[in-house]
Each structure stands twice: as C-alpha cells, then as structure tokens.
Amino acid sequence: MTTANRPYLAHLLAEEAARRTTDPATAAGIRASYPDPTTVTPAASTPPPAPAVPAPSRPTVQLTPGTALALIGGGTAVVLVVGAVLVSLLLAVAVTGVSIAVVAVVLRLLVNDLHKGR
C-alpha cells in the first residue's frame, strides 16, 4: 500500500495484522515497519523560503496636457469625417429619390398623352 501512495491505509492494515499476531515481537516489528503517517517527525533543517520575485508591472499611461489635446483633436477629426460621410450619403439618397420622382412624373405624362392620342 505504501507503493500505491496510500500510507494511512498501509498503517491501518499493519495495525490489524499486529493485533491478530500472537507474538509481541512480531507485532512490534510490523508496527515499526508501518508507522502512523499522521505523526509529524521533525525535519533536520528546513531551507528558508525563496524570496518572492515581484511580478513585472505593466507601464502606466501618463496623460500629459499635450497628449490630451492630441486625443481631443483626433477625436474631433474622426467625428467630423464620419459626419461628412453620413451627410453625403443622405444627400445621395435624397437626389436619387428626387430623380426617381421626376422620371415617374414624366412617364405618367407620356402614358396619359398616349391614351389621349387614340
């Protein structure tokens, strides 16, 4: 059981075997071969713990007045460009709608003239 990494189970089995043995010397030998794994034996010397290595910290972003102005200027430029693109798309849709309406009126007039000309 000790090779199976179960020292407490090996100790319990050894205790049972020692209890069933009639010879006290054999029982003492069995108990000595499988000591209680819950007892603590003092170690010769324990090495001191390794010093903790601090984790490398990520650099912090420092916002200076110059970078703040650059960020504000860049954000404003992006908003203006996106706004201009959206307005031009809206204008293109409006012009397309007006031209389709003019074509519809012209076609209606042509169809009405064809029916009157019979």
User: Tell me: the pLDDT tens digits for 6-60?
Assistant: 777 887 888 888 888 888 888 888 888 877 777 665 656 777 777 777 777 777 7
Pick from 21, 18, 41: nearest CA to 31: 18
Q: For residue range 94-115, list pLDDT tens digits in order.
A: 999 999 999 999 999 999 998 8
Q: Which residue has the tokens 């000309």?
A: 117
Q: In the 8-state DSSP scheme, what is residue 44?
A: S
Q: Identify whether the C-beta of residue 94 lies closer than 8 Å to the C-beta of residue 86.
A: no
Up-side HSE of residue 8: CA atoms within 13 Å toward CB? 2
What is the rounded distance in angstroms from the CA atom of residue 24 to the CA atom of residue 18? Answer: 8
Q: Is the pTM value of this prediction over 0.75?
A: no
- What is the Cα–Cα distance from 76 to 83, expressed in whole angstroms? 10
